[in-house]
Amino acid sequence: MSRIISSLTEISAGYDALFCDLWGCLHNGRQPYPAAVAALQAYRAQGGIVCLMTNAPRPGPYVVAQLDLMGVPRDAWDLVVSSGDAAQDAMFAGAVGRKVWHIGTAKDDGFFTDIPEAHAGAEPVARVDLAEAEGIVASGPFDEVSETPEHYRERFLEARDRGLPMLCANPDIIVDMGETRIYCAGALAEFYESLGGRTLYFGKPHAPIYDRARQLMGLGPDARYLAVGDGIATDIAGAVAQGIDSIFVTGGLAADAFGADIETPDLEMLLHWLKVQEKAPTYAFGRLR
């Protein structure tokens, strides 16, 4: 049964490294949460390693630049691993062909233009119209504010009928940008699958992003990891699949389900909700602190 804790310090001494989600845990898409920043700084001060693990569809350096712009201090983390890193490797390796239809915005251009060193000599990947494409790369809707997956039905049916695979660079379904809830690439991939299309995933809860993070940390087989996140189907499901402990942040995407006090979730409501979700995080708290 999941246990509600008051702060990270209550359990942090038992873990060597932390996989910490970004949106809904460390920041809200516009500004960082001061208590979360302080919690990560304190964890690092006691010798723990903080890996910021995000389903952002951009390569790690772009995520770091965004964190800097937002005012997240660099002493709150050790490394950043993004879904974009793992998905980019797969794309340049040819997972969905060399001519791709890109669904996303200009902020994700680095996914295509910043070629990883390991793929420097590979055949280029070109962005083309759907009619010419060998595959699809989804990093998010064209218009994050107004579009829903349903807007893509006709084009997805065409792509399905042609057998085009979709590489999903961000398995998240939704995130909160400040007070606005927006769809992510995961929602598009889920809809494409529902229509009979084939999809490939590389972020949480799928193994490649965890494998990459552990490789970069190099802690060895006996390292004790802890995952923190507000995505029950991504952060917590991924931790369960990896066999590591987790803290579910109830004050994020599902905040309305656990009572009026976002900082202190109602235990009975939480346990009922988790039973419905068929997930069992090791711990839970309202906010990362």
* pLDDT for residue 284: 97
In a domain, 116, yes or no: yes
Which of 156, 182, 201 is a domain's end point?
201
SS (H, E, C) 135-182: EEEECCCCCCCCCCHHHHHHHHHHHHHCCCEEEECCCCCEEEECCEEE
Residue 73 within a domain: no
- Express each pLDDT in 39-81 by its tens digit: 999 999 999 999 999 998 888 999 999 999 999 999 999 999 9
- The answer to whether residue 108 is domain-embedded is yes
Last residue of a domain, one of 201, 221, 246: 201
pLDDT exceeds 80 at position 178:
no
64: amino acid identity, one letter = V
Residue 198 has a CB neighbour count (10 Å cut-off) of: 16
Nearest to 15 by CA among 251, 190, 247, 264: 247
pLDDT tens-digit series, residues 201-236 = 989 999 989 999 999 999 999 999 999 999 999 999
Burial class (CB in 10 A: 0-12, 13-18, 19+), 146: exposed
Here the CATH number for the domain that contains residue 111 is 3.40.50.1000
Last residue of a domain, one of 182, 201, 220: 201
Do 216 and 197 sit in the same domain of this protein?
no
Ramachandran angles phi, psi of 88, nearest 5°: -65, -40
Domain hosting residue 227, numbered range: 3-55+205-285
Does 70 fall in a domain? no
Clarify whether residues 236 and 281 are in a common domain.
Answer: yes
Residue 149 shares a structural domain with residue 180: yes
- Asked whether the CA dihedral 134, 140, 145, 148 is positive or negative, the reply is positive
62 in a structural domain? no
Answer yes or no: is pLDDT of 157 > 80.
yes
Q: Domain check: are 26 and 99 in the same one? A: no
pLDDT cut 90: percent of the chain above it: 82
Q: What percent of the chain has pLDDT over 70?
A: 100
Specify which residues 99 forms β-bridges with: 126
Predicted pLDDT at 202: 84
Same domain, 145 and 123: yes
- Which pLDDT does position 231 carry in this prediction? 94
Kindly compute the dihedral angle of the four CA atoms of residues 90, 111, 29, 31, in this order, to the nearest 10 degrees: 120
> What CA–CA distance (Å, rounded) separates 172 from 205?
9
Domain total of the chain? 2
d(CA 178, CA 38): 20
The verdict on 151 and 131 lying in the same domain is: yes
What's the token pair of residue 220? Answer: 């060895």
pTM of the model: 0.83
> Is residue 254 situated within a structural domain?
yes
